[in-house]
Structure 1
């Protein structure tokens, strides 16, 4: 389900479970919408939603976000969404600038896909009366 992305990240903001689940959910919503118009495309599984009982966030989980944005752009339209970053274990975690880039990319792609879905031309009647 699509949730309005947070595109005003700033230094000092904390990345929490709701943020993770929102980004993951938005990427899944974009994929579902895109599959209505485009052929199936590669998409990395991001697992189930996190809760506060989960230990934390791992580099490979954030890298899935990055990869899925690339997969969607390759399949739908080559949107200008900025430079992909790769994260590694025991290295600095994702920063506010990269979170803004990811969430803004989701917003851009989703709005474009939705406008294409709503802009499809449809006939106001059924050809041949529906009988074959």
Structure 2
């Protein structure tokens, strides 16, 4: 289920709800995208984090960045966008980077929802199945 992305401010702190929201929104974007575009894969990001998992690693954030890029490439193969690489023992992504990630998710979601709503639909169907246009 899609959860509205957060608009980050300089004083905001990243927590497990933020991690889980971004991770699950990426999975939701992929699921929505493959209803409109040819199938493509994103990398598995594991289960939601709980308070016992209250730490974030560079490879987890890099996986989010990579999956955002995979989704972008699956639906906008002509637009590259930005992708960052994060390293262990370096500063955590700041509010600008988090706004870029969540803003990118939101833009793709809104675009995909618009495309989905704008698809041609038949006014009626003959027989039991759906026609090729409405699938």
State TM-score, norm by structure 2: 0.88
Structure 1: 4+ residue segments shifted above 6 A: none
Root mean square deviation, CA, Å: 1.7
State TM-score, norm by structure 1: 0.90
Alignment partners' CA distance in 1, 2:96 and 2:55: 20
* CA apart distance, 1:30: 0.5
Alignment partners' CA distance in 1, 2:70 and 2:34: 13
Q: Could you list the per-position Cα deviations for residues 86-124 of structure 1 after superposition, in whole angstroms to 9, with x for gaps in the alignment? A: 001111111111000001001000011111111111111
Q: Relative contact order: is structure 1 or structure 2 higher (C-alpha 8 Å, sep ≥ 6)?
A: 1
Partner SS state of residue 32, structure 1 = helix
**Which residue of structure 1 lines up, in the alignment, with residue 127 of structure 2?**
130
Partner SS state of residue 53, structure 1 = helix
Query: Which ranges of structure 1 fall in alignment gaps of 5 or more residues?
Result: none
**Which residue of structure 2 lines up, in the alignment, with residue 6 of structure 1?**
6
Query: Which ranges of structure 2 fall in alignment gaps of 5 or more residues?
Result: 129-135
Aligned length in residues: 128
Alignment partners' CA distance in 1, 2:77 and 2:38: 16
